[in-house]
Every structure is written in structure tokens, then in C-alpha cells.
Amino acid sequence: MTAMRIAVGGFQHETNTFAPQPATLADFIAPDAWPGLTRGPELLDAVRGINLPAAGFIDEAHAGGHTIVPLTWCSATPSGRVTREAYEHVAQLLIDDLRAQRHLDAVYLDLHGAMVAEHIDDGDGELLRRIRSLVGPELPVIASLDFHANVSEQMLEQASALVAYRTYPHVDMAATGERAMRCLARIRGNAVVRSMRQPPFLIPLTSQCTLIEPLASIFEEVAREENPSAYSLNFTPGFPAADVAECGPSIFGYGSEPARLADAVERITERVIQCEHEFALEVFSIDDVLREVSRAPAPRGRPLILADTQDNPGGGGTASTTSLLKALIERRVSRVLAGVICDPQAAGRAHEAGIGATIELEVGAFFGDSGGVAGETPIRDRFTVAALGDGRFVATGPFYLGSRMELGPMALLRTGDVFIVVASRKQQAADQAMFRHLGAEPAEFSVLALKSSVHFRADFGPIASRVLVVEAPGPNTADPSKLPFTKIRRPHR
């Protein structure tokens, strides 16, 4: 096969349209778990070795002897809508980068698939449309998508092919980039047909874990069906907290034989529809959790994990609500490690006071200008500063693997037997390195209260005695039937 010149760019955001905090241009420019906005050749170093689609795509392309033409790449932590300024600025960078190129053989984009801007509901579809209209109808434009993409008809129409992750926790992000490159090689020069079906319901985030049934075996089936039937076969369970027309799960693929492809898509779809009742939500109230903690204390070395899903910053949460923590403190639950709370003011005060100091402090409920979460107030208490950190460390778990985290000043704060990790930037508590950075070894605690829905399972699952998904306050509503949708087309109750 002749070598290709492939333009590579990325613009990733998962938008919770019900969340109070928008994603601003500054959020895309700043590094967090993943690199900040990069443009041109620095993209190659910025993503190298990280579990990111662009990294996998670039490695696979280089292995095949292809040339990478780096464009702009950026991401921001999930939140409310992307501001018009941020969307238009980044989209224009990508368009300008592409316009400056000659003799491209293909374009690859590292997208999420559930981006909603202030002025555009189908952020990814509109971006693909603009790029398609620039490069013309013939050039292959391929994109990788997150597992939580809300795939639209426009996205399918404008891209030559879309290739999505198959795991949640997303341990296969780099591998999906590799699959996208292999898909590009297969579709190049061939006639491609596509097929899509959309099951008529939403799947709660915490029921989308692929480490457990029914999705574990459904995704085995997707992988099995792909080879004989399709260049690429995908199932995106969707991101439910998005009030856009095409919110929800999709099964879609690309191939050369229409009937065979349609059959494969149909079989997977029927299987998903048959499993509807198995996706039912299982959550615990804060009172349920307190009862469970006193009824069945965790054995030492095997903590009980409380997944504070509704304030998971990976789903648009603020990483700052406090109701669960207040309950654990008031009940004097022992050996609790909680985090990661985003509160730059508390982290700053802890750094001023120094390690070992005991200070009156307000922790949490730090919402910036966004209005916050109703009823949530800071924890007002005397805290001892147990450890301090600069927020720079490398992630070690399978999900954030290789990420060079930059979470700003961090602190480990102690009140009673409750230890709280505070950071200056929002990031989902999905890697033990986020706690070890401050000398806290998660397995040595009895209860871990984590601001995460599912991603924590990749790194914390092996040490957990039990996992309880908690319905504590936060904008990442666990039960989609409670969301006040107005635009969604599919039934959701």
C-alpha cells in the first residue's frame, strides 16, 4: 500500500447540557489529565505514550510508513455547553491548519461525539460538516469517538467512517486510534456503505460499565461480528445527560457488503434491546450508604468504594459537592479517604498554612461563577494539613495511563478520621496516583468516596471489597428519567 500523508487533529468535549459550568476557551487551552491545546509538530510529543486515540492513531500510522501532518488538538474536562467563543476559535484553528496543507491523502480527527456548544447542538457533526466542505467529498475523513458519543445522522453523513471505544472504563482509547488507522487503510479507495440503528431508550451511565454484564458480552459480540461483516462495527451506549435531538445509544458500522453489514448491526441492536431491563439503575441514597457502612464494615486492605456519580467531573459534575462527605464526617465513619474535591481556595489556604498546621477552613462547594448546585455549602471545620503537592504527577492506572497530570496546588486535609484530597483543577478520581501524590495509599483506608461514575473501576476495582453507587447531589443525574429533556427524540422514561 502506498504511504499516505494524513492530517491529525482533535477537539474533545463531553457536554452535560444540564451542568452549570460551561467549557471555556481557557479550559481547552489548559492542561489537566491530558495535554493543553497543542498546534503543529508539538502535538506528537504532547500525546506520545498516553492512552489517547490520537496517540494510538499516530503510532499505528508511523508503523505503516505513513506521514503525519499535525494540526490542532485539545480537550476540556466534561462540563456544561462549550462556549461559542471556544467552539468557534478551535474549529477555526482546525480549518486554518487544514487550509494551509497541500496533498493530503486523509484527515483523522480525535473527537468525543457528545460535544454541544452554546449555539450548536451537534458540535461534532457541525465540525465534520465544516471540514468536509473544505476538503471536498472525496478525501477520507475518519474520526474516533468516545464510548459516550451521541452519534448523529450528520456525523455519519459528513465522516467517511467513525470508530468508537469499546470499553468503559475507557482503557482502549489508544487502541481505538489504532483501529481508526486500520479502518482508514481498509476504506481507502473502496466503496463504503454504512448502517446505523438506534435503540429506543437511554442507558444510565453507571449501567454502561463493560467490566460487568450485560455489556461485557455484548462488546465481545461486537468485536466478533466486526471481522467478517464490516470494516468497522461500533456500539456507542451514549451520554444521557445531553438534551439534544440525537441523544442516546447507537449501533453503526461500515463495510463493503450492505446486506451483511445491516445484518450485523441488526443482530447487535436486537441484543441490546433485549437487555433493556438489565440496564436498570442501582443506586444508594446517602442514608442507605451510612447503614451499609455500619452494617458491613470493609475488611482492612479491601475498602468499600462509594461512587459519588452525580458529581463526577467526568460527566459534567463540579467535583465540589459536599453532602456525602458531611454525612461521613458527622457519623464519624473511620478511615475515610475522599476526593478529588476541586477547591483552589482551600488548596491555596492549605499551602499558606503548611504541612502539620491545623486551620479553620471551608472545603468544597466551590463553584466559581456558575451558580453551583442547589443546597450545597462548604464543609466548615478544623482541618489538619496532612500533605501538600504541586499537582504534577504521572498517572499509573489503566485508564489515565501515562497522563502527565497538572491539577494545580493540591492538599490532603484531615478532620477526625476523614481525609480529603483537594485539587485546584477538576479531574475525575480514577487513578490511585491522584491520592499517592499526597502520600495516601487507597488500600489502607476502609471507605473511599470517589468523584467518579465508572472509570475508577479500572484502577480501584482490584482493591475494592464492594462498590456502592451513591445518589448524592450533583449535576450528573444518575437516572436519565429524572432529566427535564425538551429536545431529545427518543423515549427516555
197 binds Zn ion (CB under 5 A): no
Please, what is the minimum distance in Å from the beta carbon of residue 476 to Zn ion? Answer: 12
Q: Rounded CA gap, 342 and 423, in Å?
A: 5
Helix (H/G/I), strand (E/B), else coil: 59: helix
Per CB under 5 A, the segment of 141-149, 173-181, 209-217, 335-343 that binds Zn ion is: 141-149
Q: Would you call the peptide bond into 163 cis, given omega within 30 degrees of 0 as the criterion?
A: no
Please, what is the minimum distance in Å from the beta carbon of residue 302 to Zn ion? Answer: 28
Please, what is the minimum distance in Å from the beta carbon of residue 247 to Zn ion? Answer: 14
Q: Rounded CA gap, 135 and 468, in Å?
A: 49
Q: Whose Cβ is closer to Zn ion: residue 147's or residue 279's?
A: 147
Please, what is the minimum distance in Å from the beta carbon of residue 430 to Zn ion? Answer: 11
Q: Rounded CA gap, 71 and 152, in Å?
A: 24
Q: Residue 332's CB: how many other CB atoms inside 10 A?
A: 10
Per CB under 5 A, the segment of 80-88, 144-152, 297-305, 467-475 that binds Zn ion is: 144-152
Q: Whose Cβ is closer to Zn ion: residue 148's or residue 425's?
A: 148
Strand ranges (E), 198-323: 232-236, 250-255, 304-307
Backbone Cα Rg of the chain: 22
Please, what is the minimum distance in Å from the beta carbon of residue 147 to Zn ion? Answer: 5
Q: Whose Cβ is closer to Zn ion: residue 32's or residue 146's?
A: 146
DSSP conformational letter for 298? P
Please, what is the minimum distance in Å from the beta carbon of residue 165 to Zn ion? Answer: 7
Per CB under 5 A, the segment of 91-99, 139-147, 191-199, 409-417 that binds Zn ion is: 139-147
Asked if 426 and 342 touch (Cβ cutoff 8 Å), the reply is yes
Per CB under 5 A, the segment of 85-93, 140-148, 347-355, 441-449 that binds Zn ion is: 140-148
146 binds Zn ion (CB under 5 A): yes
Per CB under 5 A, the segment of 59-67, 142-150, 188-196, 445-453 that binds Zn ion is: 142-150
Record the cell numbers describing residue 31, joined without a space.
492542561
Q: Which residue is nearest to Zn ion (CB)?
A: 148
Q: Residue 466's CB: how many other CB atoms inside 10 A?
A: 12
Per CB under 5 A, the segment of 146-154, 216-224, 263-271, 334-342 that binds Zn ion is: 146-154
- Percent of residues in the chain assigned helix, strand, coil, to nearest 5: 35, 25, 45
Q: What is the dihedral of CA 221, 283, 340, 74, to 10 degrees?
A: 40
455 binds Zn ion (CB under 5 A): no
Residue count of the chain, please give it.
493
452 contact partners, CB below 8 Å, separation of at least 6: 307, 308, 309, 312, 314, 428, 429, 430
Q: Whose Cβ is closer to Zn ion: residue 15's or residue 269's?
A: 15
Residue 251 φ then ψ, to 5°: -120, 125
Q: Whose Cβ is closer to Zn ion: residue 77's or residue 83's?
A: 77
Record the cell numbers describing residue 107, joined without a space.
484527515
Please, what is the minimum distance in Å from the beta carbon of residue 168 to Zn ion? Answer: 7
Please, what is the minimum distance in Å from the beta carbon of residue 170 to Zn ion? Answer: 6
Q: Whose Cβ is closer to Zn ion: residue 147's or residue 460's?
A: 147
Count of residues that bind Zn ion according to CB under 5 A: 3
Q: Residue 190's CB: how many other CB atoms inside 10 A?
A: 10
148 binds Zn ion (CB under 5 A): yes
Please, what is the minimum distance in Å from the beta carbon of residue 242 to Zn ion? Answer: 12
246 binds Zn ion (CB under 5 A): no
DSSP, residue by residue, 2-57: ---EEEEEEEE-BB-TT-SS-B-HHHHHS-SSS---EETTHHHHHHTTSS-HHHHH
Interacting residues toward Zn ion by CB under 5 A: 146-148
